[in-house]
Amino acid sequence: MLFVLLAGYEVRRSEVIATQGAIAIDHASLLNELQRSNIEIVIAYDHTLEGWSRALDLRDKETEGHSKRVTEMTLRLMRATRLGGAELVHARRGALLHDIGKLGVPDSILLKPGPLTEEEWVVMRRHPEYANALLSPITYLKHSIDIPYCHHEKWDGTGYPRGLKGEQIPLVARLFAVVDVWDALRYERPYRKGWSDEKVCEYIHSHAGTHFDPEVVKVFLRMEKTCKFSNLYDKVEA
């Protein structure tokens, strides 16, 4: 009798263990599934941002490919200044969308072939504020606003939209400002050839302490010397 009872107990214990094992496997599968879904959502978000970025470059015909190049260069510069992890993720999104505020600038100004009037410049200089207004309500982009909002601020306080000065300007925007100007000068435009590496470096060096953070310029120029950005450019002439 005792043997029968013990055997029954063992069977139930085995069933309980088997059930618990099955539940644990179910939980692990569910967790894996959730993690995979999260990763897929993040990838989908980032692909969407890349699409927006390409659309912006297409509209602003002079700078086709500009957003992709400055994003790559900004990430390289961040790594050279020992920034990493989540900061790279947020900066990548911010760099891709840095000129999204130009959606608020009319074609008649954005695509004007000649120089802008002072009134037109007033409208053009609003694009960082438009970017802030556009991106602020989007929760997953709230840490990516510094570049779109602050990339036209200058170290000496003469930039826009807020006239921030020195370290009031977020570091990632100070890094991006150098990269943005470097790309604008280095890349060929319909009305002029792209400048040589040397000429652009001289320009950036001469604006350290006025337009640019001098420490960022040092890192940028050291980096440009050791690993040229030229592989990002096809049609640039010396």
CA separation for the pair 52, 228 (Å, rounded): 28
Nearer Cβ to Fe ion, position 99 or 183?
99
| In the complex, least distance from residue 56 CB atom to Fe ion, rounded to whole angstroms | 10
Q: Considering only residues 171-200, where is the footprint of Fe ion by CB under 5 A? A: none
Cis peptide before 161 (omega within 30 of 0): yes
| In the complex, least distance from residue 125 CB atom to Fe ion, rounded to whole angstroms | 9
Phi, psi of 189 (to 5 degrees): -115, 160
Residue of minimal Cβ distance to Fe ion: 99
- 229: exposed, middle or buried (Cβ count in 10 Å: 0-12, 13-18, 19+): buried
Nearer Cβ to Fe ion, position 63 or 200?
63
Nearer Cβ to Fe ion, position 56 or 201?
56
Q: Considering only residues 51-110, where is the footprint of Fe ion by CB under 5 A? A: 99
| In the complex, least distance from residue 101 CB atom to Fe ion, rounded to whole angstroms | 7
| In the complex, least distance from residue 127 CB atom to Fe ion, rounded to whole angstroms | 6
Nearer Cβ to Fe ion, position 99 or 153?
99
Contact (Cβ atoms closer than 8 angstroms) between residue 153 and residue 160: yes
| In the complex, least distance from residue 86 CB atom to Fe ion, rounded to whole angstroms | 24
228: amino acid identity, one letter: K
Nearer Cβ to Fe ion, position 99 or 224?
99
Size of the site for Fe ion (CB under 5 A): 1
Nearer Cβ to Fe ion, position 134 or 196?
134
CA separation for the pair 77, 178 (Å, rounded): 10
- Return the structure tokens found at 114: 């000649």
| In the complex, least distance from residue 113 CB atom to Fe ion, rounded to whole angstroms | 19
Q: At what angle do helices 66-80 and 214-226 cross, to 10 degrees?
A: 100
Contact (Cβ atoms closer than 8 angstroms) between residue 169 and residue 223: no
CA separation for the pair 111, 105 (Å, rounded): 10
Nearer Cβ to Fe ion, position 124 or 216?
124
CA angle, 199 then 203 then 209, to 5°: 155
14: amino acid identity, one letter: S
| In the complex, least distance from residue 151 CB atom to Fe ion, rounded to whole angstroms | 6
Question: Interface with Fe ion includes 153 (CB under 5 A)?
Answer: no
Residues forming the site for Fe ion (CB under 5 A): 99
